[in-house]
Chain A
Amino acid sequence: KNEVEQSPQNLTAQEGEFITINCSYSVGISALHWLQQHPGGGIVSLFMLSSGKKKHGRLIATINIQEKHSSLHITASHPRDSAVYICAVNTGNQFYFGTGTSLTVIP
């Protein structure tokens, strides 16, 4: 069993929809990361969280440490949001990664 589980694995949405991607983890963490990977491979760090909530533009990330759960929300989704979204956790001396959620936003 992977230490980090993401859902859904694949997601298709219409442009403008509100999107939620979930991440659950089973280890104690010092931080949780949300990463975005576009076709071609490049990865961009979206958020690093240890508590509460962060917002960048249309993206919002939340974390509940007690429930070991995080969500990534995209408001007013756009085709350029199409990518793989990866959740990763840092335990202090180890990194664990989810398998990613592949998002396709249709115009």
Chain B
Amino acid sequence: ETGVTQTPRHLVMGMTNKKSLKCEQHLGHNAMYWYKQSAKKPLELMFVYNFKEQTENNSVPSRFSPECPNSSHLFLHLHTLQPEDSALYLCASSRLLQGEQFFGPGTRLTVL
């Protein structure tokens, strides 16, 4: 257990569905991150939040919408996804921005 939890662990959705991924950290960290990991590709950093403020958005399509209501919770809202968005979505947190990161177990997303 890393202190970072993600729900759901697995998600199958159609292209017209709307769903949300949830991440929660119990470590008192101030920065939280969303990553995408596709097969045979490096980890891709999607969004970074520091003290609830978004500091980075790496040209992610608008069908992915992050939300950070407080330093302990991070959401990724999904709508009208494409099959190529199927991947493992990982959440991480760190005490300070760019510090050592602690990862959640990930959500395995399949878009049909």
| Interface residue total, chain A, C-beta cutoff 8 A | 25
Say yes or no: B100 contacts A30, CB within 8 Å.
no
| Interface residue total, chain B, C-beta cutoff 8 A | 22
Q: Which of A44, A86, A92, A95 contacts B45 (CB 8 A)?
A: A95
CB-defined interface of A65-107 with B at 8 Å, one 1/0 digit per residue? 0000000000000000000001010101111111110000000
Do A90 and B98 form a contact, CB below 8 Å, given A41-B108, A45-B103?
yes
- B2 at the binding interface (Cβ < 8 Å): yes
Say yes or no: B42 contacts A41, CB within 8 Å.
no
Q: Which DSSP category, helix, strand, loop or mixed, fits chain A's interface?
A: strand
- B99 at the binding interface (Cβ < 8 Å): yes
Q: Please give, as numbers and ranges, the residues of chain A lying within 8 Å of B45 by CB-CB distance.
A: 94-95, 97
Q: How far is the CB of B2 from chain A (nearest CB, A)?
A: 7
Nearest residue in B to A100 (C-beta to C-beta)? Answer: B42
- B27 at the binding interface (Cβ < 8 Å): no
Most buried by A among B56, B92, B103: B103
Q: A30-B98, A41-B108, A97-B44 are in contact. List 10 more A-B contacts (CB 8 A).
A: A33-B100, A41-B37, A42-B2, A42-B103, A42-B105, A43-B106, A44-B2, A86-B42, A88-B43, A99-B42
Residues of A near any B CB (own CB < 8 A): 2, 4, 30-31, 33, 35, 40-45, 48, 86, 88, 90, 92-100
